Amino acid sequence: MVNRFERNKDLVQEIVESTATHVGQIATIITGAVAGVAREVGEIVTDGFEMAEAARRAEVDDDRHIIDAVIDDEIDIEPPAPRAVDGPTTADHESPES
């Protein structure tokens, strides 16, 4: 027959082992979740970089098409009209006595 002390020791041992197993399973679940979240955040950032690069390439491509069209005379670009230079007038040089 098993005495009371040994029975309690076996009970405590079973509880500790069971708790350790469950805590290990929970830690595995949390570790997997954290890794999954980190992976998804990385994918979001990568998508952002790819979209920014695609937008930059599209802008460069658009600029090339405009330059090619100008070179091929498909688009007329006129230089700006010369601006008048403000200078002294003859009235500025006349004396008040004249």
Range of the domain at 38: 4-74
- Residue 63 placed within a domain: yes
Give domain status of residue 26, yes or no.
yes
What is the C-alpha to C-alpha distance for residues 89 and 35, in angstroms, rounded to an integer? 78
Among all chains, which residue has been given the structure tokens 């954290």?
Answer: 34
83 in a structural domain:
no
Please report, for residues 28, 42, 64, 67, the alpha-carbon distance to residue 70 in angstroms, rounded to integers and kept in the order given.
63, 42, 10, 5
The answer to whether position 84 is within a domain reads no
Domain count, the chain: 1
d(CA 81, CA 61): 29
Residue with tokens 């004396």: 95
Instruction: For residue 96, tell me if it sits in a domain.
Output: no
- Domain presence at residue 80: no
pLDDT by position in tens, the chain (length 98): 679 989 999 999 999 999 999 999 999 999 999 999 999 999 999 999 999 999 999 888 877 777 776 666 665 667 677 777 666 665 555 555 54
**Domain annotation covers residue 34:** yes
Rounded to two decimals, the pTM is 0.50
